[in-house]
Structure 1
């Protein structure tokens, strides 16, 4: 058996047996026809040690994408190698590894340039692939007991000391996605020693971005959100915060903190399901992009790891349904802003961030309030996460993690 978290329509996930994985991509929900039967002797089978619920998963579960029912979810995966394909040379049985959420072949032009988030060979529909995610190649998700990982020699980040890794597994599990994603947001925004930075969103990615900004030497990290519990979590590790439900003028709040109404750089850790500021603002998918342009100084950079989609069937207007938003691009142009968008190339960062965790420099689990649950509790975890709790849920399918 291989129990997994499976999407069963808007607002619903269930625990089902999806069958033990093999080193081949079989026909199934979301698998493009041209990917069916793809042999993966370059892959491995992992026994999943930890796998996390991500805000990106929530977009699908809320019905805000074209994800098909029956899709096994999960792209944040850490596991032990229990089966090795014929063509795998360097990864061995027993290795404990982090799996980058980007699926990448290591052979195409994009991979050779370290743009593993837009690999040209893993998804016949468009560049870039991921586990358990809509329109990303049909690769089976890893919120499960076991999962197949292709291109293992290239992709897997092996932990050098297995015992030490298990001691720090609640931190290391964040290397598959949110820690590199948060770091990418602030790094691409140009955060350096002394920077002032505004981060929109106090969910797990926003909190990871805030902690990353501190690691990079920011002098002041300001986090904005509508959820006071999540803002309290940001304050727990030294961030300034702005409750945007209570204050609809962000510039004024930044002025009170910094003595000027602008920051050096900003990060969008919210994405397309953004809500307007103040009471009863309603959904405004461009509000974060327009706001961070407004509060970022001239010639500043904007890191945009928050998710934006090309198809949103739940959008309130026809333009937004195809990802066309009312962004004040003229403002960004006039201020000579740099925009960095797209999925995070996790492999650019995960090894260095692993070393920061193992040395004790990075405390990412504490920053995002990592909370352990078992696989059967995952549907309830999805409900709690959707309600806005200030937690990052980590699923332990086999009871491997000691607390």
Structure 2
């Protein structure tokens, strides 16, 4: 058994560092023993777009917090109360920390677990939500392991598809959740705000669902090229043309059946305002683009932002064009995704080659733990890559 645990830590805005920590114990953040827990050896641990909120300083976290909430690992230790997992199992870790026992967890609403964060009904690894260490590390403690961990049925088969399966902790089920809440189905026309990794997962998930026309809007041409080459229509939001006019040029009508905001408060304006931050722009885009009676999923992160321009936005109040949208009888669903609601089915879709275009859409790049701080900087600059950290050299091998 290893003695230490090298991990990526938040040091200050725009600065991550790798340091040696103690090997994790089967203990809760409050020091209480966790016989229901497990220790994992990280096989793949990704950098997520949500991590950039922390990196930039928009989501305050304590100095020295272990980063990361997208983890795939191998079980190396289990507590005495764990019955369905054994050492050597390869598993996916949902980013929502959930007990499996409270009212919300029993209703499969694991994104709002009532017990794993004393301050609010929401807990996550590496996100200052319940003091749970993140997984951009060599090893990770996971509580309630029997409930939380998704075991891959065949380890060798899973390792062959590990770049895709590594997306099951967060961005693929999150993207799928946005489409489900927006009512996407076979034949739907879909607008996706944002061509970052989660938006590209949304495009791939829309194809899995049988959507007809999938339109993706973004400012980065290399990201748009990725989705364009995989069967999507694209809109360059830096063009000084109203979004609905650009949708009409593609569809013949200025609206879609459903739309999803995969951006959140770090959105920019359109056209001449493309270089300026406009925290409410993405949600206003999808409200504007969705037809009367349609639905919208809001997956992008919203909340108080100390870097926002106005006092209201710093406190988490945003100028939403709801008055204009209200007449269309919209249905809007927002918040984190309950990963366990979708991850098993999406795992099977990957294992049985129902999403063969996922890797091409995501443009995954495997890096070492020591390369993670530089990868954060590259990702922050708009890189089209999805960075997967390989702490033990298991993927390159």
TM bracket (short chain):
over 0.9
SS of structure 1 residue aligned to 2:7: strand
Q: Secondary structure at the match of 1:25?
A: coil
Matches within 5 A, 1:19-34: 19-26=22-29
* Contact in 2 for aligned 1:174/1:365 (Cα 8 Å): no
Structure-to-structure mapping, 1:28-107, within 5 angstroms: 36-107=30-101
Give the C-alpha shift of residue 372 in structure 1: 0.6
Cα distance in 2, alignment partners of residues 341 and 148 from structure 1: 29
Aligned mates of 1:331, 1:125 — CA distance in 2: 35
Match of 1:181 in 2: 174
Summarize the alignment of residues 281-296 of structure 1 with structure 2, pairs less than 5 Å apart. Answer: 281=274, 282-296=276-290
| 2:258 paired with 1:265 | yes
Structure 2 unaligned regions, length at least 5? none
* TM-score after normalising by structure 1: 0.96
CA displacement at 1:187 relative to structure 2: 1.4
Partner of 2:9: 6
- Shift of the alpha carbon at 1:85? 0.7
| Partner Cα separation in structure 1 for residue 32 and residue 260 of structure 2 | 38
| Counterpart residue number, 2:19 | 16
What's 2:198 paired with? 205
* Corresponding residue SS for 1:314: coil
Distance 1:107 1:210 in 2: 34
- The answer to whether structure 1 residue 116 and structure 2 residue 119 are counterparts is no
* Contact map agreement 1:234 1:241 (CA 8 A) in 2: yes
Please name the residue that 1:349 is paired with: 342
Question: If the length of structure 2 is used for normalisation, what is the TM-score?
Answer: 0.97
**Aligned partners of 2:86, 2:241: CA distance in 1, in Å?**
54
Segments of structure 1 that go 5 or more residues without pairing to the other structure are 27-35
Instruction: Write the deviation string for residues 236-257 of structure 1: whole angstroms up to 9, x where unpaired.
Output: 2111000001244111111110
Q: Confirm or deny that 1:319 pairs with 2:312.
A: yes
Aligned residue for 2:147? 154
Match of 2:119 in 1: 125
Indicate how the Cα distance of structure 1 residues 248 and 69 shifts in structure 2: closer, same or farther if over 3 A, else same.
Answer: farther
Post-superposition Cα deviations, 1:312-343, rounded to whole Å, max 9, x if no partner, equal: 11111100011100001122321100011110
Q: Give a deviation string over 1:134-189, Cα, whole Å, max 9, x none.
A: 2x100000000000000000000000000000000001000000000111111111
CA deviation after TM superposition for structure 1 residue 38, in Å: 2.9
SS at match of 1:273: coil
| Deviation larger for 150-159 or 84-93 | 84-93
Shift of 1:288: 1.2
* 1:100-122: CA deviation from partner (whole Å, max 9, x where unpaired): 00010000000010000000010
Q: Which residue of 1 is the match for residue 157 of structure 2?
A: 164
Equivalent-residue separation in structure 1 for 2:363 and 2:145 (angstroms): 30
